[in-house]
Amino acid sequence: MSAEKISVLLLLAVIGSHAAPNASECDGLTKRLPTKDLNKIFSNWVLVWGVSDREEAIDMLPNVSSSHVEFKLLPDNKTFSYIERNMFNHNLSSCTTYFIHMTVPSNIETELQTLHADNIRLEKGRQPVEYNDTGAVDFYESCSDCLLLVYKSSRFRYLLSYKEEGSHRDVEQHKAAHDDHRKLAECLGFPKKKPYVYDRVADFCHKKSAPEANPDNQS
């Protein structure tokens, strides 16, 4: 095959992978999590890919070294906690933790409706910080040990893709997975910007990222 033909094929491949998703592709990608599958979220998650729709948030993404999320059903079975711990520039003192409470939906719709935060508490470097913004989440269908959600405050939206803690070190850094995320982002109206991508090794605010480095294995 001539070099010219090869470069045409490569060019086509590049154009193909960057084509905007059409409406039917978007329908396939934007499937919300069914309410009956809400149990799937109750675990520990590591952010592996993320984008935002606001310039300030986009500028901050490269400084995020890790973001860990824990969803836990509370004993009343009616509420769950949503704890997000973010570390910036590999600096433990920079850790920012959001403690959010949400209500388990009681209606069994075919898909999960937007869930709203009942309250949000924020700590920076273990000190409480005043926080008065709203928070809401849309969960999307994803692979079996993955979590895909859109977090909405009054000012920002984030599209966030998580891998279950434990398999976060063998995350697919491959273009194919990122292409699907990028397409979903486009379908949901996010600007085309460089995403956050986890480096697979950065530690979390409350524990090491390598499982063998957490001997007591508490979570």
Ligand X SMILES: *[C@@H]1O[C@H](CO)[C@@H](O)[C@H](O)[C@H]1NC(C)=O
Question: Does the protein bind ligand X through residue 61 (CB under 6 A)?
Answer: no
Label residues 142-157 b or e (16+ Cβ within 10 Å = b). Answer: beebbbbbbbbbeeeb
Closer of 3 and 19 to ligand X (Cβ): 19
Which residue in the set 89, 106, 127, 217 belongs to the binding site for ligand X (CB under 6 A)?
89
Residue 86 Cβ vs ligand X, minimum distance, rounded to whole Å = 12
Residue 38 Cβ vs ligand X, minimum distance, rounded to whole Å = 13
Q: Where are the alpha helices (DSSP H) in the chain?
A: 3-17, 23-29, 55-60, 175-187
Structure tokens of 96?
């920012």
DSSP 103: E
Residue 125 Cβ vs ligand X, minimum distance, rounded to whole Å = 6
Which residue in the set 1, 14, 77, 176 belongs to the binding site for ligand X (CB under 6 A)?
77
Which residue in the set 132, 144, 217, 218 belongs to the binding site for ligand X (CB under 6 A)?
132
Question: Does the protein bind ligand X through residue 60 (CB under 6 A)?
Answer: yes
Q: Within 13 A of 215's CA, how many CA atoms are on the CB side?
A: 0
**Which stretch in 85-93, 115-123, 164-172, 209-217 sits in contact with ligand X by CB under 6 A?**
85-93
Q: Residue 131 in 3-state DSSP? A: coil
Residue 2 Cβ vs ligand X, minimum distance, rounded to whole Å = 27
User: Is the separation of the CB atoms in 119 and 102 below 8 Å?
Assistant: no
Interface pattern 160-199 for ligand X (x via CB under 6 A): ----------------------------------------
User: Is the separation of the CB atoms in 32 and 139 below 8 Å?
Assistant: yes
Closest C-alpha to 35, from 123, 111, 140, 98: 111
Q: If binding means CB under 6 A, how many residues of this protein chain bind ligand X? A: 16
Question: Does the protein bind ligand X through residue 153 (CB under 6 A)?
Answer: no
